[in-house]
Each structure stands twice: as structure tokens, then as C-alpha cells.
């Protein structure tokens, strides 16, 4: 019992740090929106989605194996493997970026932005591995504190560089310096290992089930935001991408925070509930969360343009129009995020993969409709919101079907 209480306390410490970081990020958006214009936010969105997606895939998801490695020596080999893979992908990303400038000259593809993106890929690939080692040692307070301090540094540096007149590079550099802090902070609680690549080939093969099982779903889930950013950039403009990015960023923070917190509590309760009552609990939980959040979403949708103009500045009025329609998709995404974890507990990982694939396909359909019908940004956002909502509703329907079969 004492062990369980200790573990729960450490998990709460992790959640508290993550929640505080999310709240800080949301509260400081009005300051950043007055220091950086929509185009700067658009360039940052391209940088962030690119580095986050490639970085997440860079370690081939061997970070997942570190937590359950049989011995500390095996864990160190996996940590070393993640470092080499992250460095490799960072170099490849940088080379690809410079090669792309020869084909598509663009101000967004400046040498500084490309180099910063390559470094960010390395950090985004290796930080999860270091975090996995810290989790292996159950030092959850370290992870929670790292989330909070990193976010605080990113915000402080971003504001400072904005006051000095920096544009998109200020946002990118602030994010990278936050990642570098996390690298050094987590490295204090994990070993630095540089095993020869030849030795790590056996480790690469031994734990190959992790990239085989996790890479496809990870690529799909991280690919959707990247695809969305590139479409907005090519079909509209970098400034309109910035408008879209701010709206999405503002809505995404609370959804991740509330969805994960609610999902953790829901999963804990439903796994302790008799199988015959799980469907009833799901329906009750779904209706309660929906009734609580729906009024706020409706009010927000009506006042979003005026609210954005008041809080973020006159040039962000269009972002409020975008947020009005994204709020609908956000509502259904919140419901799915809060109840989707039951699929993992039930061993239905294939359904999670299907929902990720469906979301990507629906986004592609929305983009196709935008191009063929010559839709403006608002109507494109409506189609994206509709398609995203359909994917989330499909996920909820599958959760219901799983619980319905269990209750028979």
C-alpha cells in the first residue's frame, strides 16, 4: 500500500509540472502575440512541426524499451543507440534542408533556420530517451520540474528576443535553448554512454519490436500536424499559417491538459469497475464531460473573433475566426482523448492505429476539397474541423463497441 501511495504521489508530481507548464504557455501567448507578427508564428509552426515529427521518429521509439530493459547495462545500450540515431537524423535533416533550398528558394529556408531545425531534431530525439531513463528510476519529480523550467525558459527567452526586435528566429531560438536545457538537466540524472556502433547492432535487432510496433502509429499521429502546416503554407501564406497556428496552439494546450488528466482518472476507475458496468460508466462519463464542456465551447465559438482581437491584438482577428471553427473539433477530440485510453488497457492498439490513420486521411480529404472548391481559409478550417470531428467520433464509437462486447 505504501509503495502504491508513493508511486501515485510521484505521478501527481509529474502531472503537476506538466500542467503548470501548459498553463504558463497559454497565459503568455498574449505577450508573444504582441511581440511577433503572424508570419513569425507561421515560420515557427513550420519549424516546430518539422523538428517535432522527425525528432519523435529519430530514435526509432527505442526510448520505449529503456523503461522495461532487463538490466541497467541493456538500458545504457539503448540510451546510446537513441543518441546515435538522433544525431544521424539531425545531420540528415540539415542536409535535406540545404538541398531543398536549391530546389525551392524560400525565406523560411534560411541557413540559420535549417541549422536550428537540425539541432532541434537531435534534441527531440534524445530527450525522450533521457526521460525514459529517469522514469525507469521513478524520478517523476525531475520530469515534472524539467517540463516547467523548460517552458519558463522558452517563454522568458522568447519575450526577451521579441523585445529586442527578433522575428521568427527569436521563437525558434527560444525553443531550441529550452530543449538544450532539458538535455543537460536530464543528463544529470542519466548516464552519458557512447558505446561503439558495432556493439549496438545487436541491441538494434534485439529490441526491433519497438520500432516495428510503434513507428507507424507515431508517424501517423505526428504526421497530421506537419501535413496541416505545409498545406496552409503552400495553399495560403505563411502569415495565415501563423493565424491558424495561434488558434490551434491556444486550444490544444487545455485539451491536452484536461484530456490526459481526465483520461488517467477515468482509466484508473474503469479498470477497477466490474466488466458488466463499464459500458454504463463510459456513457455516464461521456455525457457528464460533454455537458460540462459544451456550454463553454458554444460561448467561445460566438465570441472568439472579438476575444482574440481584444486579448492578442487587432491583427489576430482572423485567428479568432479560425478558433471559432476549430473549437468544434477540439470538443470532440477532448471527449476521445479522455476516453480513448481504455483501448490501450483493453489491448486494442490496432484501433488506436486505425484512428490515427483515419485522422490523416480525413485531413487529406479536407485539403483536397479546399483545392478543388477553391475554399478560403475559413471554409478550409471548417472542412478540417468537420473531418477531425468525424475521426474523433469514430474513435468514441469504437470505444463503445469494445465495452459493449466486454459487457456481454
Residues 325 and 378 grouped into a single domain = yes
User: CA-to-CA distance for 371 and 176, rounded, in angstroms?
Assistant: 34
**Which residue matches cell numbers 476507475?**
269
Highest mean pLDDT out of 111-115, 180-184, 258-262, 269-273: 180-184
pLDDT class for 136, splitting at 50, 70, 90? confident
- Residue 100 pLDDT: 84
Residues 180 and 281 grouped into a single domain = no
Boundary-marking domain end, from 163, 185, 207: 207
Residues 177 and 237 grouped into a single domain = no
Q: pTM, whole model, 2 decimals?
A: 0.86
Residues 247 and 365 grouped into a single domain = yes
Residue 21 has which C-alpha cell? Answer: 507548464
Residues 270 and 404 grouped into a single domain = yes
- Residue 110 pLDDT: 82
Concatenating the DSSP letter of every residue in 207-241 gives TTHHHHHHHHHHHHHHHHHHHHHHHHHHHT-HHHH
What is the average per-residue pLDDT within 206-218? 84
Evaluate the CA torsion angle 32, 33, 34, 35 in order and state its sign.
positive
pLDDT at 13 over 70: no
Residues 42 and 135 grouped into a single domain = yes
Measured at the CA of 163, the angle between CA 49 and CA 237, to 5 degrees, comes to 40
**Which residue matches cell numbers 473539433?**
329
Boundary-marking domain end, from 207, 239, 271: 207
Residues 294-310: tens digit of each pLDDT: 999 999 999 999 999 99
- Residue 22 pLDDT: 79
Residues 277 and 364 grouped into a single domain = yes
Residues 256-276: tens digit of each pLDDT: 767 766 765 666 666 666 777
Residues 2 and 37 grouped into a single domain = yes
What is the average per-residue pLDDT within 347-359? 81
pLDDT class for 87, splitting at 50, 70, 90? very high
pLDDT class for 3, splitting at 50, 70, 90? very low
* Number of domains within the chain: 2
**Cα-based distances in Å from 140 to 69, 77, 85, 134:** 18, 22, 25, 7
How many CB atoms are closer than 10 A to CB 99? Answer: 10
Residues 170 and 246 grouped into a single domain = no
User: CA-to-CA distance for 15 and 149, rounded, in angstroms?
Assistant: 14
Residues 355-405: tens digit of each pLDDT: 888 888 988 899 999 989 999 989 999 999 999 999 999 999 998 888 888
- Residue 345 pLDDT: 62
Phi, psi dihedral angles at 313 (to 5 degrees) = 120, 160
Boundary-marking domain end, from 159, 179, 207: 207
User: CA-to-CA distance for 252 and 117, rounded, in angstroms?
Assistant: 22
In Å, the largest CA–CA distance within the chain is 65
Residues 190 and 229 grouped into a single domain = no
Evaluate the CA torsion angle 62, 67, 69, 71 in order and state its sign.
positive
> 39, 47 in Cβ contact below 8 A?
no
What is the average per-residue pLDDT within 184-203? 86
pLDDT at 321 over 50: yes
User: CA-to-CA distance for 223 and 357, rounded, in angstroms?
Assistant: 10
Residues 266 and 180 grouped into a single domain = no
Residues 14-68: tens digit of each pLDDT: 667 777 887 888 889 999 999 999 999 999 999 999 998 899 899 998 998 998 8
Residues 330 and 213 grouped into a single domain = yes
**Which residue matches cell numbers 519523435?**
56
pLDDT class for 247, splitting at 50, 70, 90? very high
pLDDT at 162 over 90: yes
Provide the domain limits for residue 315: 209-408
Tell me the average pLDDT of the chain.
86
Amino acid at each position: 500500500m505504501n509503495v502504491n501511495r508513493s508511486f501515485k504521489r510521484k505521478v501527481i508530481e509529474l502531472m503537476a509540472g506538466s500542467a503548470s507548464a501548459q498553463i504558463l504557455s497559454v497565459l503568455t501567448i498574449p505577450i508573444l502575440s504582441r511581440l511577433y507578427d503572424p508570419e513569425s508564428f507561421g515560420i515557427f509552426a513550420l519549424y516546430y512541426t518539422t523538428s517535432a515529427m522527425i525528432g519523435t521518429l529519430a530514435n526509432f521509439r527505442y526510448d520505449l524499451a529503456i523503461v522495461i530493459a532487463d538490466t541497467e547495462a541493456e538500458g545504457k545500450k539503448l540510451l546510446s543507440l537513441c543518441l546515435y540515431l538522433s544525431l544521424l537524423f539531425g545531420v540528415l535533416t540539415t542536409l535535406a534542408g540545404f538541398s531543398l533550398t536549391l530546389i525551392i528558394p524560400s525565406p523560411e529556408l534560411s541557413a540559420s533556420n535549417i541549422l536550428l531545425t537540425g539541432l532541434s531534431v537531435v534534441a527531440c530525439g534524445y530527450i525522450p530517451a533521457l526521460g525514459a531513463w529517469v522514469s525507469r528510476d521513478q524520478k517523476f519529480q525531475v520530469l515534472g520540474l524539467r517540463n516547467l523550467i523548460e517552458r519558463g525558459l522558452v517563454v522568458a527567452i522568447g519575450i526577451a528576443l521579441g523585445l529586442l526586435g527578433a522575428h521568427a528566429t527569436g521563437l525558434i531560438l527560444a525553443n531550441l535553448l529550452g530543449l538544450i536545457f532539458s538535455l543537460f538537466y536530464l543528463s544529470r540524472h542519466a548516464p552519458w554512454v557512447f558505446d561503439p556502433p558495432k556493439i549496438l547492432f545487436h541491441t538494434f535487432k534485439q529490441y526491433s519490436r519497438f520500432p516495428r510496433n510503434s513507428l507507424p502509429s507515431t508517424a501517423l499521429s505526428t504526421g497530421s500536424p506537419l501535413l496541416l502546416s505545409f498545406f496552409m503554407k503552400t495553399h495560403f501564406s505563411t502569415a495565415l499559417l501563423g493565424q491558424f497556428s495561434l488558434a490551434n496552439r491556444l486550444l490544444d494546450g487545455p485539451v491536452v491538459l484536461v484530456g490526459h488528466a481526465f483520461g488517467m482518472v477515468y482509466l484508473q476507475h474503469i479498470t477497477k469497475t466490474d466488466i458488466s458496468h463499464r459500458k454504463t460508466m463510459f456513457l455516464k462519463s461521456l455525457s457528464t464531460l460533454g455537458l460540462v464542456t459544451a456550454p463553454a465551447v458554444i460561448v467561445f465559438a460566438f465570441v472568439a473573433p472579438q476575444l482574440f482581437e481584444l486579448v492578442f491584438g487587432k491583427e489576430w482577428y482572423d485567428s479568432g475566426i479560425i478558433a471559432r471553427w476549430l473549437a468544434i473539433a477540439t470538443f470532440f477530440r477532448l471527449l476521445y482523448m479522455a476516453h480513448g485510453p481504455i483501448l490501450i488497457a483493453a489491448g486494442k492498439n490496432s484501433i488506436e492505429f486505425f484512428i490515427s490513420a483515419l485522422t490523416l486521411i480525413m485531413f487529406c480529404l479536407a485539403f483536397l476539397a479546399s483545392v478543388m472548391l477553391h475554399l478560403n481559409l475559413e471554409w478550409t478550417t471548417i472542412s478540417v474541423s468537420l473531418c477531425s470531428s468525424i475521426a474523433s467520433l469514430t474513435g468514441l464509437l469504437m470505444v463503445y463497441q469494445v465495452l459493449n462486447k466486454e459487457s456481454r
